[in-house]
Structure 1
C-alpha cells in the first residue's frame, strides 16, 4: 500500500505543521534523474512560502519535493523551475546564501530552539556545485562560530533541461545526526518508525550576481518584527516530520 505525505494543521502550536514521511525498501540512486521506482508514487509538497521577497510567476520560480526514508537516511526528490541559475562565488564559505541554493533544515529530536551557533539543529545550504555549508560552533572552522563544510552529511546530484526556464531535478541523501553543541557531540542516527524530526525545505533564488532576491520554504513562518527569515536561527520554525513504515 502506498503512503502519502499528509499535512495536518496544529492549532496555536510550534512547529506550525506536522506531516508524515513514508519508508522505502528501495532507496533511490542519487543521480539527479527521477526514474527511480520510489519516486513514482506519492504526493508532492510545494515550496511556495516566501520567507524573503515575494512569490513570482511560475516560469520565474516554482518548486516542490517528495520525501522518503530508510534506516540510514532521508531521501528527497526536488523539482525546481527557475529562469536563471547563479553560482557566482567560488569560495563555498563566502556568500553561499546569495547564489541559487537548496536548503534542508533538520532538527534531529524535534526539540526546537536556537541553532545559530550550535548544533541543536542544522541548516544545510546545498550549492549548485554540491558543497554543503552551515554555521559551525567554535572549534571547527575558527575560534568563533563560522561557516564550515558538512559535505559528509549529505549527497546530492541534479540535472536540468537544456533551455530556460530551466527544470531542475535534484536528488538528495541526507544522514541524520544527534544534536550537540560541537562537532565532538555529533553522532549519526539510525532511523526507525515513529521517529520525529523538525524539518523544513527551502530555496534561495538568485537572478543576478548581485545576490539573492527571494527565499522560499515549505513552511509558513510568522514574522518577528516583520522578519520571516528565521529558519537558520530558530528550529521552532520547522515543521514536525514523523517517519512511518
Structure 2
C-alpha cells in the first residue's frame, strides 16, 4: 500500500518498539527474540515456464492456467497474530522468456470500485497489489495495484519508507497489461456477487534497471508478495460507503496477504515470499531456502536490534554484544562469523562463511549486498 500520502508511520523503523510487546509466535526460534514475528518462514512458489502465454482477458479458467497450482489462501498481514480473513484470495503464476503472468481470484460478495484514472491511489478502493524485488536487495523494488475497474497504480521505490525512501509515481511499467472479470455486478448493492478475477502480464524489461533486461533463468529467485486491501462498508442510498469510527474517520482497512509480513506494513521487502523460476516439472520441484538466505536472517536480526537501539538511545550501538548476539554461529553444518562496523549514525554488518569466505552485508538503510570479506575478519 502506498500509505506515505497519509502518514509515514515507519520512518526510521519507528514501529520496531511495538514488536517487543506483541504476542509471540511459539514456533519461532528463540534466537530471534524479541522479533519472532519478523522471522516466521516466508511462503514460496515455484513458477512454471510456459510456451503458450495466457490470453489476458480476466478469465483465470483458461486451459493454460491449469498447468500451475493456486497459492494457499491469503492470511492476515500479521499472520498468526490475527484470525484468518473471512473472504478468500489466491494467486497463481506462469512465466515465459519475456514476462511474468499473474492470475488472482478475489472472492467478494460486494464488488465495488470508484477510481478510474491511472495512478489514482488505488488502495483507497478495495484492491489487489503486487510487490516485486527481483534483485533481493531490499531496495529498488516495484509495486503495482489494481481495482475491480482495472485501474492501475504502478510505482517504483528506491528504498522502503522506513529508510526515507521515495515513491516514484511517475514510473510506469512499460508493456504491463491487465484485465478484470467480475463474477456478479459492479457497484450494485442489490445483489450478491461471487467476486472478481484479474490477470496481469509484467514484462521483465519493465522491471529491469538500466539498459540490461534481466531475464530469469531456471533457478532464479525473486522476492514477491501480494496484498488485498478490503474496506468495511455499508449501503447508503444504493451506494457502498466506508464505515467510520466515532471520530468520523474511516475504519482501518483489512490487509490480507499471500506471505504474512508479521507487521502491518508491506514495505518490509525482507518479509516477502520467494518466487523460484523453473523450466522443469514444477510438480516435482520442492523449494529449499538457499543457504545465502539463511545467512541474511542474522543480518536482519542485527538490523532490527540496531533500529530499536537507535530509537531508544538516539545512536547506533557499536558492538553486537549490546544485543547479546554471538559472533560465531553454525548455519547448517557451516561456521559463520557475524561482525559489525558502526559509528553513532551509521553501521554495516557482515556475515561470513568461514569455509569459502563468502560475505553478505547489510547497512543502516537495510540494503543487502554481497561483498568481499571485511578486512578485520
* TM-score band, normalised by shorter chain: 0.7 to 0.9
Deviations 1:108-134 (A, max 9, x none): 1122x2x4xxxx111211233332332
The answer to whether structure 1 residue 174 and structure 2 residue 202 are counterparts is yes
User: What does residue 106 of structure 2 align with?
Assistant: 80
| TM-score (norm: length of structure 2) | 0.49
Matching of residues 6-17 of structure 1 within 5 Å: 16-17=42-43
Counterpart pick for 2:222 among 169, 177, 197: 197
Deviates more, 1:195-204 or 1:122-131: 122-131
CA distance in structure 2 between the partners assigned to 1:70 and 1:82 by the alignment: 31
Residue 82 (structure 1) shift:
0.6
1:225-244 correspondence to structure 2 within 5 Å: 228-231=263-266, 233-244=267-278
Other structure's SS at 1:109 match: coil
Residue correspondence of structure 1 range 83-122 to structure 2 within 5 A: 83-111=109-137, 113=138, 115=139, 120-122=140-142
- Give CA deviations for 1:217-239 in whole Å, capped at 9, x if unaligned: 110222xxxxx2322x2211111
Contact 1:93 1:149 in 2 (8 A): no
Provide, for residues 11-66 of structure 1, a one-character-per-residue CA deviation record: whole Å limited to 9, x for no partner.
87687233311111111000011342221233211342212785443xxx211111
Q: Which has the larger radius of gyration?
A: 2
Distance 2:195 2:127 in 1: 15
Separation in 2 of the partners of 1:200 and 1:207?
A: 23
User: What is the 5 A alignment of 1:1-245?
Assistant: 16-51=42-77, 55-57=84-86, 61-111=87-137, 113=138, 115=139, 120-128=140-148, 129-134=150-155, 145=167, 147-148=169-170, 150-152=172-174, 154-162=176-184, 163-176=191-204, 177=206, 185=210, 188-208=213-233, 209-210=241-242, 213-222=253-262, 228-231=263-266, 233-245=267-279
Q: Which has the higher helix share?
A: 2
Tell me, yes or no, if the aligned pair for 1:47 and 1:201 is still in contact at 8 Å. no
SS of match in other structure, 1:45: coil
> How many matched pairs?
212
Quick one: distance in 2 between partners of 1:34 and 1:191? 24
- Preserved contact between residue 84 and residue 207 of structure 1 (Cα < 8 Å): no
Q: 1:146 to 1:122 in 2, by over 3 A?
A: closer
Give the conservation status (yes or no) of the 8 Å contact 2:155–2:169. Answer: yes
Q: Which residue of 2 aligns with 1:6?
A: none
Change (3 A) 1:153 1:51: farther
Bigger relative contact order, structure 1 or 2, given CA contacts below 8 A and separation 6+? 1
Indicate the SS of the match to 1:71.
Answer: coil
- Distance in 2 (alpha carbons) for counterparts of 1:198 and 1:191: 13
Q: TM-score of the superposition, structure 1-length normalised?
A: 0.73
Write 1 or 2 for the structure with the bigger share of strand: 1
